[in-house]
């Protein structure tokens, strides 16, 4: 189809649109159940949740439910098994997953016993017990009675699964995005907090609200007092990245200082502190760390008036790094060119967002919820590097989408998402016109959906 947007078109920032079907129609949601979720690599959980042999959990997406269990020590994929959560006899879920739960979990598991007729399976998924097998003339084979296994991969301290036996390896799928993020050693970070909610919009409406910083000026108006939020975004195949940018071409070369940058104002010592403190406190203590905020608070004492912004940032980073080292948090050494390419935040196809710092990450994941294209299971969590022995206890907490529970900035995002979902249903809506420079991650999400979904929902050129 000549009109369909390609990766090259996106690099050239060709104007694009895509159909709202992807957000609104049940037919599209049904197609996702067949063409997307059973065929794409998707993140299940952090490794830290399955530390002991026998620890297990369910991962549920659309109509699919998967069991992941640790079967050995170590952090490689071979230390885990993943199975479809279904008994091969007559199809009962092996682990009951009631509607409206985040996941079902347990530990110390030695086998799986189906609650219906008692068929039993070991942790390799092999059938070890059938009541009255002679009734089948003893003709049932191990292949007929074992659990259905699923491919599993590990990246960045996350467990991933792919239900497609012929899928490409996870590392290849992560591609350059994975290589860049590897420098940030996400695998050494641990949960600081994690929350989920059922939210009234499509899963894509939700994830897109966190894909682009173009909305910051219109939605998070209070943040404009502290920083500029002009952004660029760029497709990286399946995945995409956004970075701070400047409207002024004269300064184009020194874009991208990610989450650590100077604020607006005459005195970068003060404005940097104000920016980072505001972000930290209003984004639920996730978009920075206490060490970084404290080090920024000292800039005004440690540096003379008139210190240029670049030197302020360099000093801030250096002193925060020393502070962290003193408490046993060693920063990864990240080459400057990787820092620049890494930008501010990654969208990992299909449903994972990571806003990464050197010692922290603010992350989102969204999944469809039941049969309703107007609902999703929304999750956000903060990762941070902690000293040994000081990792906080955390578990998934159900939290209604309010500012009290999620911080005032997320509450502002929540205040849009539901009404984007409603607004797109208007017969007067002519279709999305995403910003080709600042919202390219959104376009790329739809381009990749089109690739998975036999062309459904693929972005096309806005102009002939
Ligand atoms: S459905 Fe599981 S034993 Fe019958
Ligand atoms: Fe936002």
The mean pLDDT of 323-341, rounded to a whole number, is 95
Residues whose Cβ atom is located within 5 A of ion ligand 2: 413
pLDDT band per the 50, 70, 90 thresholds, residue 258: low
What values do phi and psi take at 392, rounded to 5? -70, 150
Query: 2-44, pLDDT tens digit by residue?
Result: 699 999 999 999 999 999 999 999 999 999 999 999 999 999 9
- The reply to whether 42-166 shares the fold of 1-39+176-263+328-464 is no
Q: pLDDT tens-digit profile of 71-81?
A: 999 999 999 99
Which ligand 1 atom lies nearest to the CA of residue 118?
3
State the ligand closest to the CA atom of 145. 1
Where exactly are the structural domains of the chain? 1-39+176-263+328-464, 42-166
β-partners of residue 360 are 384
Atom of ligand 1 nearest to the CA of 114: 2
Ligand 1 pocket test: pick from 116, 121, 128, 133 the residue with the most ligand atoms within 8 Å of its Cβ: 116
pLDDT for res 265: 79
Per-residue confidence (pLDDT) for residue 248, from 0 to 100: 64
CA of 31 to the centre of ligand 1 (A): 29
Question: Sheet of 239-244: strands edge to edge?
Answer: 231-236, 239-244, 345-348, 352-356, 360-369, 372-384, 190-199, 397-398
Q: What is the pLDDT of residue 207?
A: 98
Residues contacting residue 55 through CB under 8 Å, at least 6 positions apart: 49, 69, 70, 105, 106, 107, 109
Question: Could you tell me the distance, in angstroms and rounded to a whole number, from the CA of residue 258 to the centre of ligand 2?
Answer: 16
Percentage of the chain beyond pLDDT 70 is 97
Greater confidence (197 vs 257) lies with 197
Per-residue pLDDT, 263:
75
Q: Region 234-261: what's the mean pLDDT?
A: 72
Ligand closest to CA 96: 1
Which residues sit with their C-beta closer than 6 Å to ligand 1?
87, 89-90, 92, 114, 116-119
CATH superfamily of 42-166: Rieske [2Fe-2S] iron-sulphur domain (2.102.10.10)
pLDDT at 246 > cutoff 80: no
The whole-chain average pLDDT of the chain stands at: 94
Whole-number pLDDT of residue 254: 43
Return d(Cα 50, Cα 250) in angstroms, integer: 50
Return the residue whose CA atom lies nearest to atom 3 of ligand 1: 117
pLDDT in tens, 158-185: 999 999 999 999 999 999 999 999 999 9
For residue 4, the 8-state DSSP code is B
Q: For a pocket test of ligand 1, which of 83, 96, 119 has the largest count of ligand atoms closer than 8 A to its C-beta? A: 119
Predicted confidence band at 266 (pLDDT cuts at 50, 70, 90)? Answer: confident
Judged against a pLDDT cut of 90, whether residue 331 lies above it is answered with: yes
Model pLDDT for residues 430-456, shown as the tens digit of each residue: 999 999 999 999 999 999 999 999 999
For residue 245, what pLDDT band results from cuts at 50, 70 and 90?
confident
Entry field: residues in the chain:
464
Q: Tell whether the model's pLDDT for residue 381 goes beyond 70.
A: yes
Is 123 within 8 Å of 109 (Cβ atoms)?
yes
104-113 pLDDT tens trace:
999 999 999 9
Output the residue whose Cα is nearest ligand 1's atom 4. Answer: 117
Q: What is the pLDDT of residues 195-234, one digit of tens each?
A: 999 999 999 999 999 999 999 999 999 888 887 888 899 9
3-state secondary structure at position 268: helix
Give the residue among 175, 167, 127 at the shortest CA–CA distance from 150.
Answer: 167
Q: How confident is the model at residue 253 (pLDDT cuts 50, 70, 90)?
A: very low
Paired strand residues for 280: none
Question: Which residue minimizes the CA distance to atom 1 of ligand 1?
Answer: 90
- Show Cβ contacts of residue 449 under 8 Å, excluding neighbours closer than 6 positions: 22, 36, 204, 350, 456, 457, 458
Going by C-alpha positions, the residue among 48, 59, 36 that lies closest to residue 152 is: 59
Which two tokens mark 54? Answer: 């026998």
Of all ligands present, the nearest one to the C-alpha of 220 is 2
Q: What is the band of 252 on the pLDDT scale with cuts at 50, 70, 90?
A: very low
Most informative mutation of 96, 114, 144, 145 for ligand 1 (most atoms within 8 A of CB)? 114
310: left (phi over 0), alpha (psi -120 to 50) or beta: alpha
- Tell me which of 67, 84, 86, 89 to substitute to probe ligand 1's pocket, judged by most ligand atoms within 8 Å of the beta carbon: 89
Q: Are strands 397-398 and 190-199 parallel, antiparallel or unpaired?
A: parallel
What pLDDT does residue 148 have? 98
Q: 1-39+176-263+328-464 — its CATH code? A: 3.90.380.10
| Interval 394-444: pLDDT, tens | 999 999 999 999 999 999 999 999 999 999 999 999 999 999 999 999 999
Supply the pLDDT for residue 102.
96
When pLDDT is cut at 50, 70 and 90, the band that residue 249 belongs to is low
């Amino acid at each position: 189809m000549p009109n369909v947007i390609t990766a090259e078109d996106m690099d050239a920032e060709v104007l694009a649109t895509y159909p709202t079907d992807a957000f609104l129609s049940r037919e599209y949601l049904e197609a996702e159940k067949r063409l997307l979720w059973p065929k794409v690599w998707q993140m299940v959980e952090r490794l830290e949740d399955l530390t002991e042999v026998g620890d297990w959990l369910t991962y549920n997406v659309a109509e699919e439910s998967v069991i992941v269990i640790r079967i050995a020590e170590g952090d490689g994929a071979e230390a885990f098994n993943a199975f479809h959560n279904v008994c091969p006899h007559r199809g009962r879920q092996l682990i009951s997953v009631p509607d409206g739960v985040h996941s079902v979990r347990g530990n110390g598991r030695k086998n799986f016993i189906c609650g219906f007729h008692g068929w039993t399976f070991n942790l390799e998924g092999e059938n070890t017990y059938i009541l009255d097998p002679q009734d089948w003339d003893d003709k049932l084979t191990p292949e007929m009675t074992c659990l259905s296994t699923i491919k599993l991969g590990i990246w960045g301290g996350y467990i991933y699964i792919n239900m497609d036996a012929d899928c490409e390896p996870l590392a290849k799928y992560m591609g350059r995005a994975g290589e860049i993020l590897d420098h940030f050693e996400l695998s050494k970070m641990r949960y600081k907090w994690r929350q989920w909610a059922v939210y009234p919009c499509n899963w894509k409406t939700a994830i897109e609200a966190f894909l682009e910083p173009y909305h910051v000026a219109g939605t998070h108006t209070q943040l404009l007092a502290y920083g500029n939020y002009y952004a660029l975004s760029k497709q990286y195949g399946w995945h995409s990245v956004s970075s701070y940018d400047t409207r002024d071409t004269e300064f184009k070369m020194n874009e991208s200082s990610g989450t650590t940058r100077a604020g607006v104002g005459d005195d970068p010592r003060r404005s940097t502190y104000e920016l980072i403190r505001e972000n930290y406190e209003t984004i639920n203590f996730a978009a920075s760390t206490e060490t970084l905020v404290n080090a920024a608070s000292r800039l005004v004492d440690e540096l003379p008036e008139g210190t240029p912004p670049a030197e302020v940032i360099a000093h801030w980073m250096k002193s925060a790094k020393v502070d962290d080292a003193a408490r046993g948090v060693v920063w990864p050494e990240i080459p400057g060119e990787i820092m620049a390419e890494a930008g501010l935040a990654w969208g990992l196809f299909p449903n994972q967002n990571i806003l990464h710092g050197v010692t922290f990450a603010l992350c989102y994941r969204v999944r469809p919820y039941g049969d309703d294209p107007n609902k999703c299971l929304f999750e956000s969590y903060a990762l941070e590097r902690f000293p040994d022995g000081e990792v906080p206890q955390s578990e998934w907490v159900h939290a209604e989408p309010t500012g009290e529970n999620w911080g005032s900035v997320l509450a502002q995002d929540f205040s849009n998402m539901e009404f984007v979902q409603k607004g797109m249903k208007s017969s007067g809506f002519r279709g999305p016109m995403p910003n080709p420079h600042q919202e390219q991650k959104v376009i790329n999400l739809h381009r990749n959906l089109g690739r998975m979904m036999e062309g459904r929902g693929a972005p096309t050129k806005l102009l002939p």
